[in-house]
């Protein structure tokens, strides 16, 4: 399998440009299925999750062409309602957006239950509740989701989410855009990628209002037209480089970002003593001489993001004193702790709480990337450790970070990639170099 070999003890310095937001792109690509016309999408991150979704769209009859490595045109005018490639759907979480987009476009959808990183149970009951409220008959059988609009088209409705869910909010938005009448989503998630999806849909002729608040209103329209849209920068990719700079005691200017989206991350880094300076579209991070211990709890946006929790777990191994992390979103997002222990970290986990006894040097070891963000965290751990760290299962990391190794090495890291050409997890049909 593919591996990263990291020689530790490096300090990151220089400038890094952030790519388009993964969790916006993985909703916008399936949403393009609603559009009869050409969607030109800029700032698409070149990562395996977007490749997988584009491959699925092509199988459904879309025409996808790359204008350059981060700009694509998707034309779903001739897309057909048919079975999508289920083995690809099972690989990723975001395939759940095809329930909304196929229902909206064709009035019918058959998808697999979604895959994605394993943080314990990740139900999609709120997605299903939303589709049912819009008038779809939805059944889950044998690992598949079958959904049919009862009279061929969805109908607007008022939906209160029992749990603040990014995926359910975006999926219902996608489904409701072409529904007849008005939909209101209450207790909606407020992440920047929700606003980005709304802006994408509106630029193609939809009428979505209130995205970014907990009440989103969608007035259904009869059809969407083609257009051009640029995806926002990835706040988690930016946050990962911020932590990497802080953990290695370096100084990195992170460009092409929206500082407002990084407020939770910046605030917690400042508490550790890390120096942060914000500019209009960039942020400078300079590592502290001595990192201070902190406590943090992950929450829905604008709270501290769960997708930054493992990276902070590594950082806090370097801080003097005891830090406590409480995971407020998932049941089981501390699997990376076992890998960190192999490197000498002293961490106790009890359910959703993890207690880090910081200030110990880490030493290189063979470790796994348990999932996407855990993998990124292990890369940071490898860079601060003494000696060599070998990380396997790095296909997880490549699902979400564009040119991660190339960008880190340009900042002074010492990472080599050992590719196994037979690694079945790697796909890249539509990538261009
Ligand atoms: N939940 C339910 N029922 C549902 C949906 C969610 O109980 O129908 C629960 C989940 O089990 C979880 C919580 O609600 O405990 C929040 O889940 P949410 O639906 O917000 O997460 P998601 O849509 O599955 C997206 C991102 C994740 C990110 C979370 C939270 C995508 C493709 N994935 O997942 O991203 O952690 O929101 O911000 O957008 C990552 O990028 O590494 C990643 C895992």
pLDDT in tens, 340-351: 999 999 999 999
Distance 7 CA to ligand 1 centre (A): 33
Mutate to test the pocket of ligand 1, among 100, 127, 167, 299 (most ligand atoms within 8 A of CB): 167
In the predicted structure, residue 109 carries a pLDDT above the cut 50:
yes
Residue 84 pLDDT > 90, yes or no?
no
pLDDT number for residue 420? 78
Last residue of a domain, which of 230, 256, 279? 230
> Would you state the pLDDT for residue 97?
97
* CA-based nearest residue to 27, from 135, 169, 210, 141: 169
Look at residue 289 and tell me whether its pLDDT is greater than 80: yes
- Mean pLDDT, residues 115-130: 85
State mean pLDDT over 221-239.
98
| 65 C-beta neighbours (distance < 10 Å), count | 12
96 and 215 inside one domain: yes
Split at pLDDT 50, 70, 90, the class of 422 is: low
Mark whether 205 and 183 lie in a shared domain.
yes
Q: Would the pLDDT of 426 be above 70?
A: no
Domain count, the chain: 2
Which of ligand 1's atoms lies nearest the C-alpha of 400?
41
Say if 432 falls within a structural domain.
no
Q: Whose CA is nearest to atom 10 of ligand 1?
A: 122
Helix or strand or coil: residue 322? strand
Pocket test for ligand 1, best of 19, 21, 22, 23 (most atoms within 8 A of CB): 23
* For range 180-194, the mean pLDDT: 98
The band of 206, judged by pLDDT with boundaries at 50, 70 and 90, is very high
**Predicted local confidence at residue 118, as pLDDT:** 73
Going by pLDDT thresholds of 50, 70 and 90, the confidence category of residue 372 is very high
Q: Are residues 201 and 297 in the same domain?
A: no
Tell me the CA–centroid distance for residue 217 and ligand 1, in Å.
Answer: 21
Q: 315-324 burial, b if ≥16 CB within 10 A, otherwise e?
A: bbbbbeeebe
For residue 232, report the distance from its CA to the centre of ligand 1, in Å.
19
Average pLDDT value for the chain: 94
The single-letter DSSP state of residue 262 is: G
d(CA 307, CA 18): 16
CA of 308 to the centre of ligand 1 (A): 14
Model confidence at 403: pLDDT above 80: yes
Higher pLDDT, 138 or 422: 138
Position 424 scores a pLDDT of 58
Identify the domain containing residue 109 by its residue range: 22-230
Using the atom order of ligand 1, give the atom closest to the CA of residue 121: 11
Based on the residue annotation, tell me whether 117 is a catalytic residue of this protein.
yes
Q: What is the pLDDT of residue 37?
A: 96
Q: Which atom of ligand 1 is nearest to the CA of 22?
A: 41
**One domain for residues 292 and 311:** yes
26, 66, 151 from 216: Cα distances, Å: 20, 33, 25
CA of 362 to the centre of ligand 1 (A): 31
Ligand 1 contacts (CB < 6 A) are 23, 26, 93-94, 117, 122-127, 163, 165-168, 189, 306-307, 329-330, 372-373, 400
The catalytically annotated residue of 76, 117, 354, 370 is 117
The rounded distance, in Å, linking the Cα atoms of 128 and 136 is: 9
CATH number for the domain that contains residue 31: 3.65.10.10
User: Per the domain annotation, does 430 fall within a domain?
Assistant: no
Mean pLDDT of the 253-275 span: 97
Q: Give yes or no: residues 212 and 277 share one domain.
A: no
| Domain assignment present for 431 | no
Contact at 8 Å (CB) between 310 and 377?
Answer: yes
Same domain? For 111 and 141 the reply is yes
For residue 427, being part of any structural domain is answered with no
Q: Is residue 94 part of a domain?
A: yes
Residues 394, 375 contacting (CB under 8 angstroms): yes
Query: Is the same domain home to 90 and 109?
Result: yes
Q: Please tell me whether residues 338 and 413 are part of one structural domain.
A: yes
Residue 427 predicted with pLDDT over 70? no
* 111-125, 212-226, 385-399: least confidently modelled range: 111-125
Residues 127 and 171 sit within 8 Å (Cβ to Cβ): yes
Residues 316 and 266 in one domain: yes
In a domain, 14, yes or no: yes
Q: Looking at the structure, tell me whether residues 164 and 93 fall in a common domain.
A: yes
Q: Tell me how far apart the alpha carbons of residues 425 and 286 are, in angstroms, rounded to a whole number.
A: 36
Single out the residue in 208, 230, 252 at which a domain terminates.
Answer: 230
Residue nearest to atom 14 of ligand 1 (CA): 165
Index of the ligand 1 atom closest to the CA of residue 191: 38
Exposed/middle/buried for 356, CB within 10 Å: 0-12, 13-18, 19+?
Answer: buried
> pTM of the full predicted structure?
0.96
| Per-residue confidence (pLDDT) for residue 430, from 0 to 100 | 40
Angle between helices 22-31 and 166-176 (to 10 degrees): 30
- Same-domain status, 294 and 226: no
Instruction: Please give the number of the atom of ligand 1 that sits closest to the Cα of 166.
Output: 20
Confirm whether 148 is domain-assigned.
yes
14 with 50, same domain?
Answer: no
**How do beta strands 282-286 and 275-278 pair?**
antiparallel
Judge whether 425 lies within some domain.
no
Out of 230, 262, 296, a domain closes at: 230
Q: How high is the pLDDT of residue 431?
A: 39
| pLDDT mean over 264-288 | 98
């Amino acid at each position: 399998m593919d591996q990263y070999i990291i020689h530790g003890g490096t300090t990151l310095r220089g400038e890094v440009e952030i790519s388009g937001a993964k969790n916006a792109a993985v909703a916008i690509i399936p949403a393009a299925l609603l559009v009869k016309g050409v969607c030109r999408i800029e700032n698409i991150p070149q990562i395996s999750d977007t490749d997988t979704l584009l491959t699925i769209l092509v199988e459904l009859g879309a025409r996808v062409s790359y204008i350059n490595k981060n700009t694509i045109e998707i034309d779903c005018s001739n897309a057909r309602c048919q079975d999508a490639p289920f083995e690809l759907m099972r690989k990723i979480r975001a395939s759940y957006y095809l329930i909304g987009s196929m229902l909206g476009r064709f009035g019918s959808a058959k998808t697999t239950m979604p895959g994605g990183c394993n943080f314990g149970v990740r139900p999609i009951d709120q997605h299903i509740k939303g589709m049912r409220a819009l008038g779809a008959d939805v059944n889950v059988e044998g690992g598949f989701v079958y959904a049919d609009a009862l009279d061929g088209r969805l109908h607007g409705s008022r939906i209160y989410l029992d749990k603040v869910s990014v995926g359910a909010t975006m999926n219902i938005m996608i489904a409701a855009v072409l529904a007849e009448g008005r939909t209101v989503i209450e207790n909606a998630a407020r992440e920047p990628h929700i606003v980005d999806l709304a802006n994408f849909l509106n630029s193609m002729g939809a009428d979505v209002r209130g995205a970014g608040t907990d009440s989103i209103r969608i007035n259904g329209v009869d059809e969407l037209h083609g257009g051009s849209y640029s995806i926002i920068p990835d706040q988690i990719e930016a946050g990962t480089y911020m932590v990497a700079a802080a953990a290695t005691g370096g100084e990195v200017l992170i460009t092409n970002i929206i500082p407002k989206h990084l407020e939770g991350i910046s605030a917690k880094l400042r508490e550790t003593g890390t120096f942060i300076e914000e500019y209009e579209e960039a942020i400078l991070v300079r590592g502290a001489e001595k990192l201070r211990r902190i406590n943090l709890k992950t929450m829905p946006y604008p709270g501290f993001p769960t997708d930054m929790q493992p990276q902070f777990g590594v950082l806090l191994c370097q801080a003097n004193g005891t830090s406590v992390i409480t995971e407020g979103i998932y049941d089981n997002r501390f699997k990376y702790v076992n890998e960190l222990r192999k490197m000498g970290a002293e961490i106790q986990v009890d359910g959703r709480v993890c207690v880090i006894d910081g200030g110990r040097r880490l030493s290189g070891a063979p470790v796994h990337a348990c999932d996407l963000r855990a993998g990124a965290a292990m890369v940071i751990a490898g860079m601060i450790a003494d000696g060599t760290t070998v990380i396997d299962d790095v296909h997880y990391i490549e699902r979400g970070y564009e040119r991660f190794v190339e960008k880190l090495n340009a900042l002074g890291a010492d990472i080599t990639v050992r590719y196994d050409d037979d690694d079945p997890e790697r796909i890249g049909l539509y990538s261009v170099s």
